Amino acid sequence: QSVLTQPPSVSAAPGQKVTISCSGSSSNIGNNYVSWYQQFPGTAPKLLIYDNNKRPSGIPDRFSGSKSGTSATLGITGLQTGDEADYYCGTWDTSLSAGVFGGGTTLTVL
């Protein structure tokens, strides 16, 4: 059971927009930065968003992040079949003194 809660799966058509939620508490999301990761099968995760809403160089602006209270959201616009992957949110939990992840969300582009 993950500290952060994500939907197991989301889906949308090519070209559409999808959002992935990540719910936590005041000890993690509520008081720490959130980051988001994309992972394709058999490969290492890749950073998409850090500090809630910043994109590393090389990440297209189709990917966006936001945070409100104890929840965070990853948005992906202009969906492509190549976006089909698992997506994870992550942050630091001050009470646990530990890094925490969501359980992951599988994106299907129909």
Partner 1 sequence: QVQLVESGGGVVQPGRSLRLSCAASGFSFSTYGMHWVRQAPGKGLEWVAVISYDGRNQYYVESVKGRFTISRDNSKNTLYLQMNSLSADDTAVYYCAKEVTDYDFWTGYRNWGQGTLVTVSS
Mark 59-77 as b/e (b = at least 16 C-beta within 10 Å).
Answer: beeebbbebeebbbbbbbe
Query: Residue 97 interacts with partner 1 (CB under 8 A)?
Result: yes
Among 14, 56, 60, 78, binds partner 1 (CB under 8 A): 56
Query: Residue 35 interacts with partner 1 (CB under 8 A)?
Result: yes
Among 30, 33, 63, 77, binds partner 1 (CB under 8 A): 33
For partner 1, the closer of residues 38 and 71 by Cβ is 38
For partner 1, the closer of residues 36 and 76 by Cβ is 36
Rounded to the nearest 10°, the torsion over CA 66, 40, 110, 18 is 0
Sheet holding 18-23: strands in order across? 18-23, 71-76, 63-68
Query: Residue 110 interacts with partner 1 (CB under 8 A)?
Result: no
DSSP character for 85? S
Q: Please give the Cα distance from 78 to 52 (Å, whole number).
A: 21
For partner 1, the closer of residues 42 and 110 by Cβ is 42
Report the interface residues with partner 1, using CB under 8 A. Answer: 2, 32-33, 35, 37, 39, 44-47, 50-51, 56, 86, 88, 90-92, 96-104
